[in-house]
Structure 1
Amino acid sequence: MGEDAPLDDGYIEPSKPREEVRQEPYPLPKDFEWSVLDINDPKQIKEVYDLLSLNYVEDDDASFRFQYSAEFLEWALKPPGYYKEWHLGVRVSSNKKLVAFISGVPVTLRVRGNVFRASEINYLCVHKKLRSKRLAPVLIKEITRQCNLLGIFQAIYTAGVVLPTPVSTCRYFHRSLNIPKLIDVKFTFVPRSMTLARMIRVFKTAAVPHLGGLREMEEKDVSQVAELFTRYMQRFDMAPVMTLDEVRHQFLSGRGDLESPSEKYRRPGQVVWTYVVENPETRRITDFFSFYSLPSTIINHPKHNLLEAAYLFYYATDVVFDAGSEHNGTLNKRLSSLVGDALIIANQAGFDVFNALTLMDNVGFLEDLKFGAGDGLLNFYLYNWRTAPLAGVKAIGGVDAGKGVGVVML
């Protein structure tokens, strides 16, 4: 913290050959044992779900806690080329109860001019009753060892807390959809200058999306979406590099039960929504957007037990390739239309709130679409990679706010 930004990008510690990596697992406190979880086993995925839904991230007032569904964990933890050794748990030796978990999935990251393989580390969770046992540092050391054994020495992760040293910080913004419920559970409140009825009117969305040619993404769109995504993401200092299989997985594999009719824009078990805009004459995909479902448990509320939250995922538009589109306002206008339709679909699908961060091009349309700044900040960290700070909540070094970060972490 407080050091000058590095002049050159690069690793901090050099990679080691496999034989120089520690070969045996790090020791755990007495009474605990390591366990690699099989995410293909419904019983084990339920154990992870139970652990996270009772012990994972809460807001400061302990009113809301993330609730990852089994379908969400399947989608998030099993991208192409995932390693089962990176789904790492700790069990009580005597009764085999799962009491801690950490996961990694492989990603290819571009940070400024460098492209490298990394692991995306997530879902670090220790049972509330065991937080004095110092399990978290051992989990982090062991997942690092497992990554190193497979030749991966860099990682990306996020946290609400500030550790040395964030590479960027983004702020959460919230677009209210179900006003009466959000007020009831104290997620938001009626401003002094407004009545409840007027607030409901102000935040009302249309009944159907506006954009011509908008439809749900299908298998046949994968290569066009991948090409558009790849070109669009070049504009951000830090972004994922995805193969066709990864694009297919991220945008299509979480669509839920495809045999069931999609009622009100939602299928049973659906965790990701991806829509494309197709030019009817050329059949070209000109735009796409996606969002995912991550509900929160509402703790100790007499009437509501679940806050249905949608999170903006990746998007792209070919408008950006027109000369001057960033400066003359056409890019922001197009993105407002795209994300505006995402809000309509999310509202029709029964979401209560739509969340986005100050990353990518989001800053340009958040205010237009009536998003309000939240209390939460998300800090982005790179492990064993040094680079100057990236523009997130604030502009940095001539880069506009948000445009430093093109990575959406689940």
Structure 2
Amino acid sequence: MAENNSTVGSNGDGENLEISSEIGNSSNSNVVVNENDAAAIEAITQKVQDTLTVGGKKHKFWETQPVGQFKDLGDTSLPEGPIELPTPVSEVKQEPYNLPSLYEWTTCDIDSEETCAEVYSLLTNNYVEDDENMFRFNYSKEFLRWALRPPGYFKSWHIGVRVKVSKKLVAFITGIPAKIRVGDVVVMKAEINFLCVHKKLRSKRLAPVMIKEVTRRVHLENIWQAAYTAGVVLPTPIATCQYWHRSLNPKKLIDVGFSRLGARMTMSRTIKLYKLPESTVTPGFRKMELRDVPAVTRLLREYLSQFIVAPDFDEDDVEHWLLPTENVVDSYLVESPETHEITDFCSFYTLPSSILGNQNHSILKAAYSYYNVSTKTPLLQLMNDALIVAKQRDYDVFNALDIMHNESFLKELKFGPEDIMTFCIRKLQQKYSYVTSHIKVRVYTGGMKRAHPSRILDMQDDTLICKARKYNDWHLSTTHD
């Protein structure tokens, strides 16, 4: 169980990225790296090493937990099923785990305005930031209540840590119950999220004991499986995915450093590139209402049945997660003008980010693609309508993961990959299976015809050597020895 810390920021919108398939010779660059670049180089080096070195890094905590281990990858002799069998609830540890002496456990009542405000403040000031410390998730109190109070939730799974003397909330972790179908079996599990420790206390090793404590409380409800997401490689992912971004307000995104002007692009050309129609084009496209819950549930269940691992939603779940809530979640559907049948569905949730250190802008308003089902309307058209309504409502960017069938519309609708470095390395891994021999990535700035090699990345024996001043607006060609 770990922190949900997918990167908020972006290095570009994709039009700046070219990966050449040319295999040829390249010469070294004599770029001098000054001290100011050292931190950036170290960060990007670590990021790539984390991506490439799956089994080489030691995970002191996770290697003691009942999770899949890297050493077991590919072992077909392991039986399918739980890693650790359930034990009687009466045998579960009844007392909380010990915290350092200055701290105490608290259960955070999200219904309480005071407590919810404390949680909001902790997350706003200490939760996930992008790698360059330019953006930080800014969960609203309404969003937190939506995310943490699904049908059948347990208040005891909303766990905080306070300073004993001052009662200040300094850490937080949560779990919510979820029915997940794995193959043909529906499993009740916990989804772990919002692991956050105050920045000044990150040397106190609070996170492992917090994970153990939420695990203990989950076990007390006779639930024995859990899932989490992380922005780093931990033992062991069952799936990986990547965020893609679609500019809705490109000028603002460029002004705040979320994205950059593409090669040979002006601001006016960029604004024109991302311009959307004033109104939606699909007949019968409208906002979801309470009366639509049964039809949307049927659509969603049928769609999700094709996946090996998927939520097992009932009408209560759909009403909670998908019925529109102002500034939290928006859902739209297509109702046939002739038959009044609900044929298609799309949705997105709202998660703004605080913009750090910018005098002109303080909030980046982001929409995140949620569940989308297309049976009659082409998915490309349906999602273009979703972009249009998001633009109408003054969102700055529309984000989507490359999961389900999202990849079918991402490039066509001008989405760009989240993190150019990770994107490039993935492409190289796909091309060469795994980086064991010498792969050299030549990085260019500007257009390819007039580009000059400004930085070289060498990957050999899982070691990345960076010579760089910046790493935005990449144009790449590769050689393979």
**Counterparts of 1:102-181 in structure 2 under 5 Å?**
102-181=173-252
Q: 1:24 to 1:16 in 2, by over 3 A?
A: same
Which amino acid in structure 2 is aligned with residue 335 of structure 1?
A: L
In structure 2, the residue matched to 1:288 is 345
Q: 1: distance between equivalents of 2:267 and 2:115?
A: 45
In structure 1, the residue matched to 2:108 is 37
Q: 2: distance between equivalents of 1:88 and 1:32?
A: 13
In structure 1, the residue matched to 2:390 is 346
In structure 2, the residue matched to 1:300 is 357
* 1:243, distance to aligned residue in structure 2 (A): 1.4
Q: 2: distance between equivalents of 1:159 and 1:112?
A: 24
**Counterparts of 1:209-228 in structure 2 under 5 Å?**
209-228=280-299
Q: 2: distance between equivalents of 1:6 and 1:376?
A: 32
TM-score by length of 1: 0.84
Q: 1: distance between equivalents of 2:393 and 2:231?
A: 28
Partner of 1:159, secondary structure, is coil
The runs of 4+ residues in structure 1 deviating greater than 6 Å are none
In structure 1, the residue matched to 2:73 is 4
**Counterparts of 1:10-409 in structure 2 under 5 Å?**
10-252=81-323, 255-256=325-326, 270-319=327-376, 334-375=378-419
Which ranges in structure 2 are unaligned for 5 or more consecutive residues? 1-69, 423-428, 431-481
Q: 2: distance between equivalents of 1:148 and 1:225?
A: 33
In structure 2, the residue matched to 1:384 is none
Q: 2: distance between equivalents of 1:377 and 1:154?
A: 33
Q: 1: distance between equivalents of 2:404 and 2:152?
A: 26
Which amino acid in structure 2 is aligned with residue 374 of structure 1?
A: E
Q: Deviations over 1:25-48 (max 9, x none)?
A: 000001100000111111111111
Q: 1:6 to 1:279 in 2, by over 3 A?
A: farther
In structure 2, the residue matched to 1:323 is none
Q: Deviations over 1:149-189 (max 9, x none)?
A: 00001011101011111111101100011011001001111
Q: 1: distance between equivalents of 2:93 and 2:74?
A: 31
* 1:376, distance to aligned residue in structure 2 (A): 8.0
Contact map agreement 1:289 1:338 (CA 8 A) in 2: yes
Q: Deviations over 1:127-153 (max 9, x none)?
A: 000001110001100000000000001
In structure 2, the residue matched to 1:266 is none
Q: 2: distance between equivalents of 1:375 and 1:283?
A: 42
Q: 1: distance between equivalents of 2:333 and 2:419?
A: 32
Q: 1:6 to 1:278 in 2, by over 3 A?
A: farther
Q: 2: distance between equivalents of 1:301 and 1:9?
A: 51
Contact map agreement 1:178 1:352 (CA 8 A) in 2: yes
In structure 2, the residue matched to 1:397 is none
Number of residue-to-residue matches in the alignment: 354
Q: 2: distance between equivalents of 1:192 and 1:223?
A: 48
Contact map agreement 1:53 1:67 (CA 8 A) in 2: yes
Q: 2: distance between equivalents of 1:371 and 1:2?
A: 36
Q: 1:376 to 1:135 in 2, by over 3 A?
A: farther
In structure 2, the residue matched to 1:402 is none
* 1:9, distance to aligned residue in structure 2 (A): 2.7
* 1:244, distance to aligned residue in structure 2 (A): 0.7
Q: 2: distance between equivalents of 1:197 and 1:376?
A: 24
Partner of 1:120, secondary structure, is strand
Contact map agreement 1:169 1:377 (CA 8 A) in 2: no
Which amino acid in structure 1 is aligned with residue 394 of structure 2?
A: G
* 1:281, distance to aligned residue in structure 2 (A): 2.0
Q: 2: distance between equivalents of 1:41 and 1:6?
A: 48
Contact map agreement 1:171 1:377 (CA 8 A) in 2: no
Which amino acid in structure 1 is aligned with residue 260 of structure 2?
A: F
Which amino acid in structure 2 is aligned with residue 287 of structure 1?
A: D
TM-score by length of 2: 0.72
Partner of 2:370, secondary structure, is strand
In structure 1, the residue matched to 2:437 is none
Partner of 1:344, secondary structure, is helix
Contact map agreement 1:160 1:376 (CA 8 A) in 2: no
Q: Deviations over 1:113-140 (max 9, x none)?
A: 3320001100000000000111000110
Q: CA RMSD in A?
A: 1.7
* 1:236, distance to aligned residue in structure 2 (A): 1.6
Partner of 1:286, secondary structure, is strand
Q: 1:271 to 1:376 in 2, by over 3 A?
A: farther
Which amino acid in structure 2 is aligned with residue 137 of structure 1?
A: P
Q: 1:376 to 1:194 in 2, by over 3 A?
A: closer
Q: Deviations over 1:334-383 (max 9, x none)?
A: 111111111001111011000001101001110010000111899xxxxx
